[in-house]
Amino acid sequence: MTAVMPTSPLLAIVLGAGKGTRMKSAVPKVLHPVAGRSMLGHVLALVECVGASRVGVVVGPGMDNVKTEAVTQLPAAEVFVQEHQLGTADAVLAARSIIARHTAEVHLNRDGRPAQCIVLYADTPLIQADTIARLQQALNDGAGVAVLGFHARDPSGYGRLLTAADGALTAIREDKDATLEERQVTLCNSGVMAFALPDLLGVLDRIGNTNAKGEYYLTDAVEIARAQGVRAAVVVCAEDEVLGVNARDQLAVAERLWQQRARARAMAGGVTMIAPETVFLSYDTAFGRDVTIEPNVFFGPGVTVGNSVLIRANCHLEGAKIGDGVRIGPFARLRPGAQLGPDVHVGNFVEVKAVTMGPRSKANHLAYLGDGSVGADANIGAGAIFCNYDGFRKHKTVIGDGAFVGSNSSLVAPVEIGAGAYIGSGSVITKSVAADSLALERSTQDERPGWAAKFRAMMGRRS
Ligand code: UD1
Ligand code: CA
């Protein structure tokens, strides 16, 4: 997303009070993740990106986890509790105090234009910043209300946008209140509404609840404002962008659409994906150029990838920094705190967690590197294990530059292997090893010449 400069101070109100009963979940709907971030987090990132100067988040009673997520994602957000869910206008009015402050501030600025306020739903995570900018533009062009609409493949259930011959918005009619003729309209309300009204609270307070659902409909603001001579406009966007998530199948659709977008963005930025539909990105995955990703790779949150990196098939990466020229996989796992310096190789069935690896170091096969550091040009053999956990605490393994850790060694932390040291294969290393030493921990090999031939002869005579 590219940052868009606000033209007038913008207040964003994000409605997140919905219980989301159709999710069948102990977790409130808006905390369910898309691409590794809660839907609420996506919407808060959007309002931050469009430069909202104030943000109010409306939650339901007892939704402390939603409150916490809101201020974690956006510390400047102010949270309001809507005590009873009496409709979308009632939800916005739960944030009355922030609207009042915003209106007063813009007035004090002698800005000359009414304060701008945008209402979004926290269960609608795919809206783009330039779409919000188009809504703001409609307000700048003189509309007092601008509604984000879309042409619905199946309009049933949505509020219909009723327009005049000149394209102006005359009213929003909820599905349950619409006449048969109005139901034929396929231009629908996404739920995103932007206002530039000198007295927004006055308009909201005038909304009643005499309708099929007995709710206070925010959408009624259109007719009330028009009766005051205000112009209302429609801004149209693609239906996919305003997908609202009510159940888990829609959550999966949102994820699919989000992934399609993110893959396209990555490829446009110089990433090769052999089978993009099998690569899963997080909201914050960052790539350099000339990264090649083979099929079936999953990026959890917090992964940064440098230039000219090859990620081979079937890797799982999370919280990892990957330097230029690194090769990973196939079947590698990078966990939080893995930091791979330039030209590091991490091969098949290798797991790295909270370990920094210096330039050109290699762990090519079957290893666990957890908690510690590996210097430059070190070689970690097949089957090497950092024994980092004693059942209570984690301890560090430190491996110096150019060290060579033989295959199937166990390094029992805390332990330090000096620069250039060798660890003989199969050793269980419990004491630190000085630079350039060889450490061996295994019994002396006992060889009995001719034993096998004699054994076979003896067994043969018996049978
Ligand atoms: C709403 C719109 C409709 C639009 C549709 C798009 C109204 C009256 N109708 O209808 O025109 O086509 O969204 O999806 O606005 N909420 C609260 N508190 C409440 C009621 C709702 O916070 O008291 C929140 C919900 O959590 C949800 C959003 O507002 O995120 C929409 O509410 P919902 O009841 O689902 O409205 P719809 O009937 O879908
Ligand atoms: Ca809805």
**pLDDT tens-digit series, residues 155-187:** 999 999 999 999 999 999 999 999 999 999 999
Indicate if the pLDDT at residue 388 is higher than 80.
Answer: yes
Please say whether the dihedral angle defined by the alpha carbons of residues 235, 239, 241 and 245, taken in this order, is positive or negative: positive
Rounded to whole angstroms, the Cα distance separating 392 from 412 reads 14
pLDDT band at residue 5 under the 50/70/90 scheme: very low
Residues paired with residue 11 on neighbouring β-strands, in sequence order: 54, 117
Measured from CB, residues less than 6 Å from any atom of ligand 1 are: 15, 17-18, 58, 82, 85-88, 90-91, 121, 123, 158-159, 172, 174, 188-191, 217-219, 244
Q: What ligand has the least distance to the C-alpha of 175? A: 1
Kindly indicate the confidence band of residue 345, based on its pLDDT and cuts at 50, 70 and 90. very high
111 by Cβ neighbours in 10 Å (0-12 / 13-18 / 19+) ranks as middle
- Average pLDDT on 439-443 reads 95
CB 16 within 8 A of CB 58: yes
For range 111-117, the mean pLDDT: 87
Instruction: Specify whether the backbone of 36 is left (phi greater than 0), alpha (psi in -120 to 50) or beta.
Output: left
The mean pLDDT of 385-409, rounded to a whole number, is: 98
Q: Is residue 51's pLDDT more than 90?
A: yes
Ligand 2 center to 190 CA (angstroms): 9
- Which pLDDT does position 20 carry in this prediction? 87
Q: So what's the pLDDT on residue 108?
A: 76
Q: Is 462 exposed, middle or buried (0-12, 13-18, 19+ CB in 10 A)?
A: exposed
Nearest ligand 1 atom to alpha carbon 86: 23
Q: Dump strand ranges (E) for 168-282.
A: 169-173, 187-196, 232-236, 271-273, 279-280
**Over pLDDT 90: what percentage of the chain?**
94
If pLDDT is split at 50, 70 and 90, which confidence band does 86 have? very high
Section 193-203 average pLDDT:
97
For ligand 1, what atom is nearest to the CA of residue 158? 12
> Atom 36, ligand 1: which residue's CA is nearest?
88
Q: Which band of pLDDT confidence, cut at 50, 70 and 90, is reported for residue 7?
A: low
Contact 4, 132 (CB under 8 A): yes
Please tell me the predicted confidence (pLDDT) of residue 6.
46
Let me know: does 41 contact 73? Beta carbons within 8 Å.
Answer: yes
Tell me how crowded residue 84 is: count the other CB atoms within 10 A of its CB. Answer: 10
Q: What is the average pLDDT score of the chain? A: 96
pLDDT-above-70 percentage for the chain: 98
Tell me, what's the pLDDT at 107?
Answer: 79
Give the catalytic positions in this structure. Answer: 365
pLDDT digits (tens, 9 = 90+) for 254-278: 999 999 999 999 999 999 999 999 9
Q: Model confidence at 325, in pLDDT bands (50, 70, 90)?
A: very high
* C-alpha distances in Å from residue 199, one per residue of 38, 195, 220: 33, 10, 15
Q: How far is CA 407 from the centre of its chain?
A: 38
Q: What is the mean pLDDT of residues 5-28?
A: 87
Q: How far is residue 237's CA from residue 205's CA, in Å, rounded to a whole number? A: 29
- Pick the closest to residue 212 from 299, 87, 97 (CA basis): 87
- Compute the distance from residue 166 Cα to the ligand 1 centre, in Å: 28
Q: How far is the CA of 88 from the centre of ligand 1 (A)?
A: 6
Q: What is the mean predicted confidence (pLDDT) over 429-453?
A: 97
The mean per-residue pLDDT over the stretch 233-250 comes to: 97
Mean local confidence (pLDDT), 68-81: 98
- pLDDT at site 109: 77
**Which whole number is the average pLDDT over 346-360?**
98
Q: Ligand 2 centre from 52 Cα, in Å?
A: 24
Q: Which residue has the higher pLDDT, 111 or 224?
A: 224
Pairing of strands 37-38, 33-34: antiparallel
Q: Which atom of ligand 1 is nearest to the CA of 84?
A: 23
Q: How confident is the model at residue 252 (pLDDT cuts 50, 70, 90)?
A: very high
Compute the average pLDDT of residues 193-213: 97
Yes or no: say if 295 and 311 are a contact pair by the CB < 8 Å rule.
no
- Please return the burial class of 34, using the count of CB atoms within 10 Å of its CB with bins 0-12, 13-18 and 19+: buried
